[in-house]
Amino acid sequence: MTSRTQVAIIGAGPAGLFLAHLLHRAGVSALVIENRSRAYVEGRVRAGVLERTTVELMDKLGVGARMRREGIVHQATNIAVGERLFRVDFTEVSADALVMLYGQSEVMRDLGDAAVEREIPIVYEASEVALHDVDSDAPSVTFTHEGKVQRIACEYIAGCDGFHGVSRGTIPESVRTTFERVYPFGWLGVLADVPPCMHELVYANHERGFALASMRSPTRSRYYVQCSVEEKLEDWPDERFWDEVSLRLGSSVAPHITRGASFEKSIAPLRSMVCEPMRWGRLFLTGDAAHIVPPTGAKGLNLAVSDVIFLAEALVERYAGNGSGSTAGIDGYSARALARVWRAERFTWWFTSLMHRFPTMEGFDRRMQSAELEYLAESKAARAVFIENYIGLPL
């Protein structure tokens, strides 16, 4: 069975659904193909910090109402260094500077519900997805769904299928270059239905390693501690975790921590990855298919959003005038997206290096880390640079 669309979108994660809504809004036909179920996609525990650009896009697409009701607006964050705690106020840079705490699973639910209402076509649980003739004028996608092989003829393909998807691997190794850094530690994270210890995030640099106190709602908290990638979850019962995160967050924060049973616990390794270019022929990579950042600073989802904004603008430009529009945006997509990607990679590399303890960290490195944190605490100029990057660089 063969059908046709203008844009085939591989993956129904944040990048794929944001792009689908942007194209639908502009009258460009698109079909989303996802190998997992909708419940799986919406149930993944991921980022919870939305930059202003992401918040504004949710509103622009008409899917931001619940976010505005239930999301938590932050105009500051906190950094604990041993027993010292200092606050970084975003309004030092701009009176309306903010980030929104609203979980990725909630974003996906809002996008998914709106896609159903708007009749945006999404095929879930598609197997054996393959891309064909990407470097020609007539690319296509094949997949199996409900036991039937289907072929989608299209004009462009958006690879929004993450690090393990098929899109990046479709680009020949002779064409793509992968830049990667693997960190020698991970984050052990827990979710618990307990009130947050503070009304703003707390990042901690402690001699035993990094920690983070975050939240998903006024009654649900997310905590992390740095750990070895060889650690086993069974070695971290709740009591041990609460003891460790309390120690690392320091005496100013620990008394406000409410302990409770965790209902999700996982260890995530930290890595950085960038694939260049982000376009080959009629295929465009977005989000985790093109780049990975450590979770420090929560740039992953937000970078995916900027990618699809750039790509949607390019495709809409191309389809202007009944398909006779300019290809300038398409031709410039990779360079434009990568410029922002590398700035985000720089920030997450710097922030990760600043807040974590490395196995090879000795006296000089530790003193340099302490000096940088002191500078951030005392210098308005240093905080301005931090804030500009943390709340999201302009597009």
In the chain, the amino acid numbered 297 is: G
Q: Which two tokens stand for residue 103?
A: 């979980």
> Rounded distance, CA 6 to CA 250, Å?
54
Which H or E element spans position 362?
Answer: none
DSSP per-residue letters across 128-178? EEEEE-TTSSS-EEEEEETTEEEEEE-SEEEE-S-TTSSHHHHS-TTT-EE
What order of strands is seen across the sheet that includes strand 99-101? 49-50, 99-101, 72-74
Structure tokens at 240: 């041990």
Torsion of CA 309, 314, 315, 317, to 10 degrees: 120
Q: Which residues are catalytic?
A: 74, 203, 295, 299, 390
Residue matched to tokens 């691997």: 169
Ramachandran quadrant class, 40 (left: phi over 0; alpha: psi -120 to 50; beta: rest) = alpha
Q: Which amino acid is at 155?
A: E
